[in-house]
Chains A and B, each alone.
Chain A
């Protein structure tokens, strides 16, 4: 089992240079579209000016990049003034900015309640889950960037492929060779063991930890905190049995497994679900050493 190097995206998209309208009708329609766009732009500008003058607005500086739009191929920051409402999160503010000022502003979000793990971003220099980060807790202007140490696909959207590959590498699913006697019997876990793995089960695959990890940034093959935590969740689950645990230890013990961790605690600091990642990695290291000393 080895960790994987992310596949290079090979598709290339050549955006065609301006297509010439063929007929008069099309020309007219294009002109109409252009005017509508102008009006929309003007309206958005007015909105923005009004908001900027208003005192109870939040200033957002958002990273913009789009390889397919000329003028956005060089990354830049756009400023949005969003009216502040009590309880507003960074995600709320971004959605307001997108819906009101610029519909091309792109970011991932889904459940909006810190469960789906799709909106991890780099907010004011830290990896945060946008939907659970209160604007009122942040200094202004709020700087929103895509997760560092990942390729940016567009605006705040990064390529998560490598992260998912690392998660897959630890076989993140329950396996066992020890089945209960009765065919319909449940595979029960005692309370104590459940408590032990409780925190590790909370991972939402947001990738904040991986992005914060300085070692994962340098060593592309390093499994990373999330994947190791996933391995912990199953290696410590007593229902899997001793033979599966050995297999799991072999995976995390590879050169680019747990040994790469330098206990910087960055992952533990940024984890939006408060998983004690460093603690879990350290416990696996000890487990691996003990396991090896046993046979030494």
Chain B
């Protein structure tokens, strides 16, 4: 018979309503980080079509008939891809703003206002994302 009881992850996810700003910032930062590194791999994979495209010959390249140009153009033609790009921007902007907040924290600046700076990064992320939607969607229709 066990002498003590391990409650395991009782508080980690069960009490998310009680999480404070710093905890949310950490969760979001981690989540956006995973998305960004995932995207980096995809990004390089898609751009790699430039390797076969380079051998396509000058005429094809000038006409935009190479694999790379074709791949990107057809991808960017999809509304879904455009929307995902807006999402990517939001994720990147949050990671950058909150990253700045964390760098300041590392320098010992503004630790008393860490919750406010987290809310500020959230709001700013929202604002920048919304403001960028027209540019990101342009030409998709």
Contacts and interface: CB of A to CB of B under 8 A. Distances in A.
Complex contact flag A–B (Cβ < 8 Å):
yes
A217 B17 CA distance: 19
Interface in A254-294: 262-266, 268-269, 276, 278-279, 282-283, 285-286
A67 B11 contact: no
Contacts of B22: 263-266, 268-269, 278
B5 interface: yes
Contacts of B6: 151-152
A129 to B, nearest CB: 17
A14 B6 CA distance: 19
B3 A13 contact: yes
Interface stretch (B78-86, B88-96, B104-112): B104-112
Contacts of A282: 105-106, 108, 111
A149 interface: yes
Interface in B26-71: 26
Nearest to B21: A265
Given A14-B1, A125-B18, A265 B114 contact: yes
A29 B135 CA distance: 88
Contacts of A67: 1-5
A283 B20 contact: no
B121 to A, nearest CB: 14
Mostly, the A contact residues are: loop
A170 B28 CA distance: 32
Contacts of A145: 10
Chain A: number of interface residues, binned into ranges: 35 or more
A276 B22 CA distance: 14
Contacts of A269: 20, 22
A15 B89 CA distance: 62
A9 B106 contact: no
A221 to B, nearest CB: 17
A10 to B, nearest CB: 9
Interface residues of B, number: 28
Interface string A139-152: 00000011011011
Nearest to A66: B5
B1 A13 contact: yes
A232 interface: no
Interface string A195-221: 000000000000000000010010000
B10 A148 contact: yes
A29 to B, nearest CB: 29
Contacts of A262: 26
A264 B5 contact: no
Contacts of B106: 263, 282, 285-286
Given A282-B111, A285-B106, A286-B107, A214 B4 contact: no
Nearest to B23: A264
Nearest to A286: B108
A263 B102 contact: yes
A87 to B, nearest CB: 25
B7 A152 contact: yes
A73 B5 CA distance: 9
A173 to B, nearest CB: 27
A41 interface: no
A214 B23 contact: yes
Contacts of A172: none
Contact of A279 (B11, B20, B21, B111): B111
A16 to B, nearest CB: 12
B57 to A, nearest CB: 51
A285 B7 CA distance: 32
28 contacts: A15-B1, A65-B5, A125-B11, A125-B18, A146-B7, A148-B7, A148-B10, A151-B4, A151-B5, A152-B4, A152-B7, A153-B4, A214-B12, A214-B26, A217-B12, A262-B26, A263-B105, A263-B106, A264-B25, A265-B20, A265-B21, A265-B23, A265-B115, A266-B23, A269-B20, A278-B105, A282-B105, A286-B107
Query: A-B pairs with the 3 shortest C-beta distances?
Result: A265-B22, A151-B4, A125-B18
Given A148-B11, A153-B3, 5 more contacts: A125-B15, A153-B4, A159-B4, A278-B114, A285-B106
